[in-house]
Amino acid sequence: MSSETIIRQYRAADQDAVGDLWARAVRQAHSSIDGEGEGERAPDLREDSVARGERWVAERDGRVVGLLQLIDGRRHGSAGSGVEIDGPFVAPEAQGSGIGRELVEHAAELHGALCLTVFEENQRARGFYRLLGFLERSWRTDEETGRALICMEREAPLRSVSWLHLREGRLLSVRTRGNDTFYLPGGKYEPGETAREALSRELSEELGLVVPEEQLSEAFVIHDVAHGKNGRRLHMTCFTGGPQAIAPEPGREIAEYAWFDREEALLRCAPAHSQVVDRLIAQGRMPG
């Protein structure tokens, strides 16, 4: 199965494929519930039901392998603050390949704070959500089954931008004063800024570099744990482009800069660096 995932909105033509994967996924997850995935406990995938929530599917190699429905949790009051997740549901043969995580992060990118409910006995799902930064806040009884439901919440991820600048296969990184950890050049958005505007400003403030926003091209987005933020998630948009011959002049809070190879980056940089380095190696831009 290809590693590339396409996340798109649900279409009526997906009904049979989604119904099948949903039934198989919930039977696996809730094996102790009689009739799960069948009859009255089958999903309502009619077109008129889409209005009740926002529905997304994950597709790989032309096959629908994941489903996520979003409901306004504040309106329904079922889990907590933010937008409620119903799912993700992933076809059993595609589980463990990152599809569920991608669907959750897609929801967070759209709506920020998220919440959900999960059966107390479903330890596997609870562990998965904890890894993605959800915290267990309360519990209630499911009216249909009489079983305990755990209500979990995750605050909106920190959104940042970063610059990928390579010199002889080594990645430019910066360290702030009073901190031993290196990060990618960049930072957070100011109100009203686009991602490119934010990064152009940050590079000027941090390193004295003039990188016009029109020269920046989005490379990829990284989802990880934000370093030093008590488990809060990070949504980091990475850009390439701009001048290659640069002479940085550390400014603002920057103590030093350096170009790191793979091993140095793993030892000295924030967690999100690992994903960035892996992507760059896969693209042939850094040696493995």
| Higher-confidence position of 49 and 103 | 103
Which pLDDT band, with edges at 50, 70 and 90, does 54 fall under? confident
Question: For 99-137, what is each residue's pLDDT tens digit?
Answer: 999 999 999 988 899 999 999 988 989 999 999 989 999
Query: Residue 50's pLDDT is what?
Result: 42
Q: Which of 2-11, 31-40, 95-104 is modeled with the greatest confidence?
A: 95-104
Given a cut of 50, is residue 204 above it in pLDDT?
yes
Q: With left for phi above 0 and alpha for psi between -120 and 50, is residue 150 left, alpha or beta?
A: beta
Q: Which residues contact 281 (CB under 8 A, 6 or more apart)?
A: 262, 287, 288
Question: For 60-91, what is each residue's pLDDT tens digit?
Answer: 999 999 999 888 644 444 445 678 988 899 99
pTM above 0.85, yes or no: no
Mean pLDDT of all residues in 53-63:
89
| Higher-confidence position of 230 and 214 | 214
Question: For 127-163, what is each residue's pLDDT tens digit?
Answer: 999 999 899 999 999 887 888 999 999 999 999 999 9
Given a cut of 60, is residue 266 above it in pLDDT?
yes
For 27-71, the DSSP string reads: HHHTTTSTTTTSGGGS----GGGGGGSEEEEEEETTEEEEEEEEE
Per-residue tokens: 97: 């390949």
